[in-house]
Chains A and B, each alone.
Chain A
């Protein structure tokens, strides 16, 4: 009996030894050390996914990320306490004068969706604002059927909700009929509830719902990239000076984002590539 246990134990050890040998050699040994990032809380999901994915390419590279807000992050970059400043808005002229360079890595796009049966296909920004603050309560006020509007949104703390309210400048003034804690749930509820309106990341929109036009512009990757669709914001990873003048490991991060693996990360967290 004892012998048997011992032999099983040895076999286990052997297996462990083998797996340890698995992933050692790498051609990018020169890229190592820590890169500190600081900035937007909205970019937390993206940055965390990035720092996880980048380990496969550069195992010795560590991203040390802090999430203190876009402005605070850019300030930290300007003062030199961070290597990269994450910002979920475009840089101001003042910030650019300090030598900060705006590198847009991805774009966050939000689509407005309604129930299939809804005849309203287009809204202006003002109408949208009024719907979400509770001023407009019926679709007939917008030229649709006589049907109550069911305002659906996300829970507080959600990045999509933060972006939506920030872009329409209605932070904490929204009157939701339902607050759901998942993008998929918003999509499903809107698809099932007549008269419902909701917001989701552009990438999850499917044909169970109607995506609304905003100010006569359709929501698509194309209109977001050319800037005509308004419910969007850039995800900026700002650097002090051009990327080409940065340290090797900072350059490696941007190279990674440009690569297929990096673009995959962008897609996975529901963003649109800036390329």
Chain B
């Protein structure tokens, strides 16, 4: 009972033991995440590269025919890579203006009540599981796109009708899914701009809109850039929602074509794939992994640049 309080003065030995064990536990936890990253990287390389050597870099990465179960199998994933790039860029182009303007509204204009409602709505949006986005995509976006498709391609005999499951549907779903990421991070960036800047701008006679676009946005540039990069990361890694709405045929990424993304290529064929086919799916995973690494490097670069400025 006498040792109830750990006093630094009274019991030096206990203290140092506690400190040491704590240090070991913390270090162990830190090492765990490093081990996870290193082993995942290693595993992706080990399982993703054999197919590249077997089939050839060019035959996999730069050919457009995907026929993994044909008698003369072909594993060209160029169209799949292009789809992921085009789809993500377009989703960002739709998502960023909406997300950024929402963030501006939240950070600069909204009064307390509006802010509260908007904030909880965005939190809810972030918490919705991606498969639910996919289901809503099937129920709402796909039928709408099919109507649009029938309207645009009326009487066109060469177009293959997709029933609404196409690149455009996937882009719309992706754009909505990345909104929370974009809004939350840009809002934080805008909020961290010192109030002095705003006040000086307003004092010099600039209107509120002028202040926002000429002063606050440039000051928060780095934060907004990292929001966009993280949005790209979220969009390129999304699988479940677009599996349900994109149609999954391997074609060139035009808006009304049924398309297959890198993520959905893995998900849709993993179940029954075997042999080289399976190895190529791991290669697709490796390509995706490389994309994510590039995105992270860009993000680190942006953040570093931000530090230099400050």
B184 CB, min distance to chain A CBs, angstroms: 33
Q: How large is the interface on A (under 10, 10 to 19, 20 to 34, 35 or more residues)?
A: 20 to 34
B258 — which chain A residues lie within 8 A by C-beta? 176-179
A268 contacts B by Cβ under 8 Å: no
A81 contacts B by Cβ under 8 Å: no
A61 contacts B by Cβ under 8 Å: no
Chain B residues with a Cβ closer than 8 Å to the other chain, count: 34
Cβ-closest chain A residue relative to B260: A179
A151-180 CB contacts (< 8 Å) to partner B = 151-152, 155-159, 162, 171-172, 175-180
* Interface segment, one of B66-74, B190-198, B207-215, B224-232: B66-74
Write the B235-255 contact mask toward A (1 if CB under 8 angstroms, else 0): 000000001100111000000
Cβ-closest chain B residue relative to A151: B160
B249 — which chain A residues lie within 8 A by C-beta? 175-179
Contact between chains at B268 and A177 (CB < 8 Å): no
Contact between chains at A192 and B138 (CB < 8 Å): yes
B80 CB, min distance to chain A CBs, angstroms: 12
Cβ-closest chain A residue relative to B69: A156
B168-207 CB contacts (< 8 Å) to partner A = none
A127 contacts B by Cβ under 8 Å: no
CA of A157 to CA of B271 in the docked complex: distance in angstroms?
A: 8
- 30 of the cross-chain contacts (CB-CB < 8 Å) are A138-B157, A148-B153, A148-B161, A150-B161, A150-B162, A152-B163, A155-B272, A157-B69, A157-B272, A157-B277, A158-B271, A172-B69, A175-B249, A177-B165, A178-B258, A179-B247, A179-B249, A179-B258, A179-B260, A180-B268, A181-B248, A181-B267, A181-B268, A181-B269, A181-B271, A189-B165, A192-B143, A193-B164, A195-B161, A195-B163
> With A158-B272, A177-B165 given, can you name 19 additional A-B contacts, CB distance below 8 Å?
A138-B157, A150-B163, A155-B248, A155-B268, A156-B69, A157-B269, A157-B277, A158-B271, A171-B71, A172-B70, A177-B161, A177-B163, A179-B268, A180-B248, A181-B243, A188-B138, A193-B146, A195-B161, A195-B163
